[in-house]
Amino acid sequence: MARTVSISRRLTLLLTGGIVLLWLLAALLSFLVMREEMDEVFDSALEETAQWLLPLATETLRQLPQPEAPSAQDEEDHDKYLTFQLRSRDGTVLLRSRDAPQEPFTETIAPGFAQTDRHKVYTAAAGDYFVQVAEPVSHRHEAVMESAGALLLPVAVLVPISIFLILWSVRRGLAPMRRLQGAIGARGGGNLQPIAETVWPEEIAGTVQAVNRLLLRLRSALEAERVFAATSAHELRTPVATALAQTQRLLTELEAGPSRDRGRRIEAALRRLGALVEKLLHLSRAEAGVGLSETENDLLAVLRLVIEEFAMEPEVAGRLSLSITDGVSLQARMDIDAFSIVVRNLIENALAYGDPGTLVEIAVPDNRTVRVLNACPPVPVEVLSRLTQRFVRGGQIKNGTEGSGLGLAIVEMILQQTGGTLDLVSPVAGRSDGFEARVTLPG
């Protein structure tokens, strides 16, 4: 079986992946631009701070020629982003801020920007004095990482929301396709009506028109087949019955011998042909949709009448057993003739495939169920599942005749029209053999 793929799931994944990819690309571009802009801002701050500090530090140095170095406690308690050192031309540190290290920021002194492993430094000069303003590299790295996190954080929040919104939108957009699928699935042998073409989006309207053209061709073909089968059956019914009657009359005039034996075989063949003609008539009526009735009917009387008709046949006498639970009545919106066809086919099937000489049990346990049981070897599961298909038989006929393989297909078709169900079970519950056909009438 081919693996199915959900269009809505695929579209959701593709659209969500595309949105996330575009967001990441935009975040990367913003990150690169932002890092460059931040470097420019921080460098400008360093340069401006150095220009402002240079005269102030020089004046402070004149007033405090030997400034007191900050204590270790001071250095520990203060953590400033910008620190400075005032240095002489020979590189000696003359004055420094509280958080500035005692060692020079750079080994050499040159106006402009310089970078060490730990600091970004800007040097400004005035005469024999140089002021160096430094910013920790980790500060810039931290600022860049926090900004990048601020750009990426919405992705984690928006992706689940995007998935939900995209999935909802895709499913809403594909809803007409699911409706079309349901409309096509509702069509079958009993319903080949065209699909209404006024409620579909433009993208699906062409498909609906193509399906309707196909349904029209199928309906024409099935109608032609149904008319041919019904007409042929009606036309054959009388000639077959006449030929059978003439054969039976001829047999009464023949003496025992080869000619009489050949006559018996002709009689059996005509009986089989008559049974097939009868099945074709049942099939044409079932395909015409005769199952449903506008009113509820008492089907229990129909069941008794069918059993009485079977009991009048010499080869069936004594083989049928009917049991009805007290107080049960079969009332259903089902055509009387259609129910008669259902019961007749089930009983014929049980008589044909049941072990010779054994009873065929017909049981009515409740107001909606009819069970027909016969004794026979268990039917394999793979055969049981195909018995309602046309021209499929489940075993060898016990009475020497040949079945048409249409009986259970006719029963299934009529029950589908009325809302009932047909369940086939083998072996029978509580036994190691047997076959049961269980009919559940529409509620």
| The most confident of 140-154, 276-290, 331-345, by mean pLDDT | 331-345
- At residue 233, the pLDDT reads 65
358 close to 321: Cβ distance less than 8 angstroms: no
- Say which range, 58-72, 75-89, 304-318, 375-389, has the weakest mean pLDDT: 58-72
- At residue 282, the pLDDT reads 66
Amino acid letter for position 351: L
Enter the tokens of residue 121. Answer: 């430094």
Enter the tokens of residue 426. Answer: 């083998």
**What does DSSP assign to residue 100?**
S
Enter the tokens of residue 410. Answer: 């006719």
What is d(CA 399, CA 315) in angstroms, rounded to the nearest whole number?
9
Whole-model pTM: value is 0.49
Give the residue-averaged pLDDT of 122-141: 85
Residues 336 and 443 in one domain: yes
Q: What is the mean pLDDT of the chain?
A: 80
407 close to 353: Cβ distance less than 8 angstroms: no
Last residue within a domain, chosen from 288, 303, 323? 288
- Using the structure block, give the residue that is written with the tokens 């041919």: 228
Return phi, psi of residue 259, to 5°: -65, -40
Q: Which residues contact 194 (CB under 8 A, 6 or more apart)?
A: 212, 215, 216
Domain of residue 280: give its range: 186-288
User: Does 2 fall in a domain?
Assistant: no
Q: What is the CATH number of the domain that holds 23?
A: 3.30.450
Pick from 104, 168, 164: which is nearest to 132 by CA? 104
- At residue 270, the pLDDT reads 80
What is d(CA 384, CA 394) in angstroms, rounded to the nearest whole number?
7
- At residue 325, the pLDDT reads 92
Q: What total of structural domains would you count in the chain?
A: 3
* Percent of the chain clearing pLDDT 90 (strictly above): 9
What is d(CA 141, CA 119) in angstroms, rounded to the nearest whole number?
11
Q: What is the CATH number of the domain that holds 320?
A: 3.30.565.10
Query: What H or E segment, with its residue span, contains residue 345?
Result: helix 336-353
Residues 369 and 443 in one domain: yes
- At residue 72, the pLDDT reads 37
Residues 16 and 116 in one domain: yes
Q: Convert 394-411 into a string of H (helix), E (strand) and C (coil).
A: CCCCCCCCCCCCCHHHHH
Alpha helices in 254-323 (DSSP H): 258-287, 299-311
Residues 13 and 121 in one domain: yes
Q: Quick check: 419 pLDDT over 60?
A: yes
- At residue 241, the pLDDT reads 80
What number of CA atoms fall less than 13 Å from residue 356's CA on the CB side? 7
344 close to 384: Cβ distance less than 8 angstroms: no
